[in-house]
Amino acid sequence: MIAEATRRSPLSDYADRFGALSEASTGTLAIREVPFLTQINFRANPSDTEVLAAVQHQLGFTPPVEPNTVATKDDRSCIWLGPDESLVVAPPDQQQLIRAALRSALGDHPGAVVDVSANRTVIEVSGSSSRELLAHGCSIDLDPRSIGPGRCAQSLLAKAQVIIQQTATTPSFLVYVRASFASYLADWLLDAAATAI
Amino acid sequence: MSRLATGGRLDRSRPTSFTFNGKHLSGFAGDTLASALLANDVRVVGTSVTQHRPRGIFSAGIEEPNALVQVGPDPMLRATQVEIIDGLDAIGLDGRSRLSAEPDTGRFDKLYAHCEVLVVGAGRAGLTAALAAAQGGDRVIVVDEQGELGGRLLSGGWDDWLKDTVGQLSAMPDVRLLTRATAFGLYDQNLVLIAERRPDGGRLHQVRARRVVLATGAHERPLIFRNNDRPGVMLAGAVRTYVNRYGVTPGRRAVIFTNNDSAQALANDLHRAAITLEATVDVRAGEAIVDTRASADGSLSGVVIAPLVGNGRAREVECDLLGVSGGFNPTVHLFSQAQGRLRYDAGLACFVPEASLPTVEVVGAASGDLSGRGQGTIMPYWLVPGEDDDWSMHFVDLERDVTVADVRRALGAGMRSVEHVKRFTTIGTGSDQGKTAGINEGAIVATQLGQPVGAVGVTTFRPPYVPVSFGLIAGRNRGDLFDPIRLTSIHPWHVAHDARFENVGQWKRPWYFPRDGEDMEAAVRRECHAVREGVGVMDVSTLGKIDIQGPDGLKFLNRLYTNAFDTLPIGMCRYGLLCKADGMVFDDGVVMHLGLDHYLATTTTGGAAAVLDWFEEWLQTEWTDLQVHCTSVTDHWAGVAVAGPNARAVVSALFPSIPLDTASFPFLAVRDAELKGFPVRLHRITFSGELAYELWTPNWYGLALWESVIEAGEPLGITPYGTEAMHVLRAEKGYIIVGQETDGTVTPQDLGMGWIVSKKKEFIGKRSFRRADTSRPDRRHLVGLFPVDGNELLPEGAQLSLESRTDPPIAMVGYVTSSYRSTTLGRTFALALVERGRERIGETVFAPMPDRLIAATVTEPIFWDKENRRRDS
C-alpha cells in the first residue's frame, strides 16, 4: 500500500516556478520534476555473463557494460554508473518487484541490490534551449556528436553531482540529483534559465 | 570637433551622448570612448601613476597603457575598448582607480563549450581559417575581443571580403561567432578561457577545443625617446584606425617617426583626412626624434629632430600628433601559455613562434607574417639617446611609469635577467601587462648590456592576457548559490516553526527553535530540559549512511573499525570507531546488522563523503579480493530521533502493535515497521544518554513521519530540539564529537575509549598503537572541567595551564574542546584535552584570558548517568 497523501518529493514546491518558466520560454525550454521513480542500485561483476543473462531474462535488458550507455526495455532503463555498477530506473512503486528480480538474477553470485529510490530525484530538462541551459553549469559536451538518446554521463551540474541521461533528440535530458541538493539545483536552474531562454 | 564629414564604421544616424569627467559630450554608435574623446578634442585623459604626468590616448585597442577610465562600478577600463552608449559616465584615472563600495550588480555567468576548432582573432587570417574549418564540417568557435569581426580590416581595406566572409560564417549552423570576448588563458588539453563583455556584466566561456588556431595578430610597438609619453604621441597604426574606422582626426599637424615601411600607409591616410604631414622621421634615413615639446595642458606641441650620428643640428617641428612605429610584436601570449617556443627573428626584429604545436596552430601576423601590417624592411631600433645622459623621461612602460633610468638602475644593481628587471622595475606588471612595453624592456636591457636582443629574451607570458574581474570568475556562484545548501525533507517544517539554522558542512540544520522571544540560551535550556525530563524530537536525516553488502562484509568492517562486529546479531546495532593508519580517530557511527551479509554504517554528518571514499579506497586498491559493495544511501533516508524518558510512549503511540519494552526491543535493537502505509525503520539508539529511538523512512515520507511524531507526542509536550541542545546533551553524557574532541592527533585511548579498541583482531591503525608516541604517558587525555565559578563559561579553544598567572610565557597543558551551560547540572561544564589528564582528576587548571584567569577543576568526562540506567530503562 502506498501512502500517496503522505509522500512528498524534494521539488514538489517548485512545480509552479518550473511551469512558469516553461511558459515564459515559449516552448524552447521545459523543466519538471519526475518524482518517485523506482531506482535500484545494482552491482555485479560485468564479466559474470550468467548474471547478466539472468537480468536480461528477468527484466528484458542487459546491464550495460559500455561506459555511459543506457539499456532500455519499455518504461524501464538501466544506467551505466561504473564497470560493475548500474542504476535500474522504473516507474514509481516497483521497488519490490525490481529488487526481487535483481536478487534472483544474482542468486549466490557476488553483487549488491540497494533501493536508492529516494536518494535522488529526477529533473527533466527538455526543449531546444536545454543544451545551452545545462552548458551554463556542466563541463561535458552535450552536443549530438557526443551524446544522444541512450547515453548518459556523470558529472557536476553547477556544484551538484548529477547523472545526466538523454532520452530524446528533442532534446530531452533527465538529471538525477541527490535529494538534499535538489532545491539548490532547482534554484540554480531557474536562475540560469533567466539568461538561457 | 575633429570628426571627418564622412567615412568610418559609425552609425551617424545614432548620436550618442555621454559624460567624461562630468562634461557632456557626444559621439556616434560605433565609437569607442577613445574615438569619441578624440572627436571632441579631449587629448588629456588622465594622469600617470607615480609621476602624475598628463596622459592621452596611445593606441586604439587592448594594448592601451595610458587612457584608463572608471565607468560605473568598473574601476579600470581602457577607453580604447569601452563602446559608448547613451548615458555612459566615465572618469579619467589619475593613475589609480578606486573600488566601488557598492556591490557589483552586474550579471556574470559561465558557459561551457566544446568545438573541433577554436579560432582566436577574427582578422583576415582568423576568418580564413574559420571558414576553411567550418566548410570541413567542424564545429567552429571564433572569438574576437572587438565589438565587430574583422580585426585590423576594420581600420581599412578588404570591406567586401570581410562582409562576404562574415556573411558565410554567420549562416553556418555549427559556427559560433563571439565578439567583445577575449581569450585570456590557454591551458592543458586546449582548455581556453574567454572573458566576454556583455552590456549588463560578463560571461566566462570555458571552451574545450580539439584544435586551436591562434590568429591573434600583432601589437605595434613604439620607439623610445625623451618625453615620449605626451598626449598626442600615438602608435602609427592607431592613428590610421582613428581616421579610417572612426572618421576622427586625432590631430591637425602630424609627424611620423618610424623604422619600417608601415607608416607609408599612414601618410596616405593623413593626406586623405587633410591632416598636414609636417615631417616623416625615419631612423633608416639617419634621423630620430630626440625630444618633444608640450603645450600648457601637457599635450604635444612639437618635436625635436636630430641626426642619429654626428653633430648635425637638431631642428624643431611644431605638431600636435606624432605617429610612432617601431615595428610589430606578434601576439604570442596564448601560444607561449601553451608552452610554445619563441625565437628572435633578426630580419623582422621581433619574437616569433618557432613552430606551431600539434594542436595549437599560429597563423597570420601572430606567426610572424607581418606583410599585412606593411612592415616591409625594418631597421631594428629601440632607444633614442637624449641630448644628455638623462634617461628619466624615456618611458618604457607608460602604465607603470617606468623609464629607461629605472632599467639602468636595475642593471646597476646587478640584475641581468629580464625576469629580474621586470620585478625590480615593475615593467609589464600593470593592468595592460606591458603589451607595448615588454619586448622593449628586453631590447633595452640588451642594448645597455651590449648583447643581442634574441639572447636576452622576453619575460614569460602568463594568463590572464587581460585583467579579469572577480565578478566574472565568481559568475552566478554568489548569494544563495555560492555553495550548495543541502536540505532535509523535514526542512519546510523547521522553517515554518521559526528554527534558527546552523551550517554543518553544506547542510542547514536546525540549531534551536526559539519560542516567544526566547534567546538562544533560554531556548537551548528549555530543549535540553525537555529531553532530560520529558521527550524531544530532532531531525537526524543528515547523518551519513553507507549500505554494505556482500559475503565479506563482516571481515571488511572488522578491518576498518577498531572494534569487532563478530558477535553482532542480525537486528542489532553497535557503535563503531574508525581510525586512520596513524591510529588517530577519523570518524564514528553506528553499524546496523540488517540481514545476511547486509550491514548499514552511519557516519558523522560532515564525514559521510570522506568515509565512503576511505572504504572504497581500501576495497579498490588493497582488498580487491573482498566481496563487498558499498553504496551511499545518505539522501535516501530521513531520520527522526525521539529522545527522553517519554520517548517510548510517543513511539508506542505510533506503533501500537510493536512491543517496545526493553526485553522485546532493547538498547541497540533495530527492526522494520510501517506507519500509515509507509516504511519506517526503528532503532533504539541514543546520543543524549536518554531512552531514545531513531525512526528512519525514505525521505519522501520524512515530513509525514516528523509530523506524525509531533502529533503523537503533543500530549506529552514533545519538544523539537536543535544541534545546540544535542551538543549539550551529548557532552553531559561524555559522548565525543569527531572534529570537536578530536583534531586528527587524538587516539581512542586519549579519549578514554580504550574499551572500543580490540586486542584480538587486526584493524587499520592498530599497529600505530605500538608506536612510542601513541603510548607516551604524557599524552593529552579527554577530561571534564568544572569551572570553579559555576556561572563562568570557558571559551571553547581556551588554552589550559597548571600555572595560576596570566603573564606569558606560560606552559600550556591542553585546551577546551567543548563548553556549555547545563541546565541538567545547574552549572557550566566543559570537555578538554589535558596532558596526563586522567592523572589530574581533582586538580585545578587555569585558562588565562586577556583580563583574568578562569580556574576549573578536572573531572571525569561523564557528567550524567554514568551507570547508563536512563539509556537502558
B704/A3 Cβ within 8 A: yes
Distance from CA of A148 to the nearest CA of B (A): 16
pLDDT tens-place string over residues A147-161: 999 999 999 999 999
Chain B partners within 8 Å of A38 (Cβ): none
Instruction: Tell me, yes or no, if B476 comes closer than 8 A to chain A by beta carbon.
Output: yes
Res B31 pLDDT > 90: yes
pLDDT tens-place string over residues B570-628: 999 999 999 999 999 999 999 999 999 999 999 999 999 999 999 999 999 999 999 99
Res B665 pLDDT > 70: yes
- For the residues B63-76, what does the mean pLDDT come to? 92
Residues 6+ apart with CB under 8 A from B611: B544, B546, B578, B586, B587, B589, B601, B603
> Around B680, how many Cα atoms within 13 Å sit in the side-chain half-sphere?
29
| Beta carbons within 10 angstroms of residue A3's beta carbon | 15
Distance from CA of A72 to the nearest CA of B (A): 23
Which pTM was predicted?
0.93
Do residues B471 and B201 make contact, with C-beta atoms less than 8 angstroms apart? yes
pLDDT tens-place string over residues B459-511: 989 999 999 998 999 999 999 999 999 999 999 999 999 999 999 999 999 99
Instruction: Tell me, yes or no, if A158 comes closer than 8 A to chain B by beta carbon.
Output: yes
Interface of B with A in 103-122 (CB under 8 A): 107, 109-114
What confidence score (pLDDT) does residue B312 get? Answer: 81
Q: What percent of chain B has pLDDT over 70?
A: 100
Instruction: Give the separation between CA A100 and CA A105, rounded to whole angstroms.
Output: 8
pLDDT tens-place string over residues B757-805: 999 999 999 999 999 999 899 999 999 999 999 999 999 999 999 999 8
| Angle, helix B263-272 to helix B236-244, in steps of 10 degrees | 30
Interface of A with B in 138-157 (CB under 8 A): 138-141, 143, 145-146
Chain B partners within 8 Å of A180 (Cβ): 486-488, 507, 542, 634-635
- For the residues B259-269, what does the mean pLDDT come to? 94
Q: What percent of chain B has pLDDT over 90?
A: 92
pLDDT grade for B806, boundaries at 50, 70 and 90: confident
The complex scores an ipTM of 0.97
What are the C-alpha distances in Å from B324 to residues B46, B57, B157, B228, B721?
21, 13, 21, 10, 76
Instruction: Tell me, yes or no, if B190 comes closer than 8 A to chain A by beta carbon.
Output: no
What is the full DSSP assignment across B87-105? TEEEEE-BSB----SSPP-
B627/A116 Cβ within 8 A: no
What confidence score (pLDDT) does residue B200 get? Answer: 84
Which residue from B minimizes the CA distance to A12? B700
A136/B139 Cβ within 8 A: no
Instruction: Tell me, yes or no, if B205 comes closer than 8 A to chain A by beta carbon.
Output: no
pLDDT grade for B99, boundaries at 50, 70 and 90: confident
B677/A6 Cβ within 8 A: yes
CA B367 to chain centroid, in Å, comes to 33
What is the full DSSP assignment across B823-851? TTTTEEEEEEEEETGGGGTT-EEEEE-SS
B676/A113 Cβ within 8 A: no
What confidence score (pLDDT) does residue A4 get? Answer: 61
In this prediction, the residues of chain A whose per-residue pLDDT falls under 50 are 1-2
Instruction: Tell me, yes or no, if B478 comes closer than 8 A to chain A by beta carbon.
Output: no
Which residue from B minimizes the CA distance to A1? B677
What confidence score (pLDDT) does residue B767 get? Answer: 96
Query: At which residue does the C-alpha cell 601589437 appear?
Result: B219
What confidence score (pLDDT) does residue A197 get? Answer: 64
Strand blocks (E) in B9-96: 11-20, 23-29, 46-47, 54-55, 68-71, 74-78, 88-92
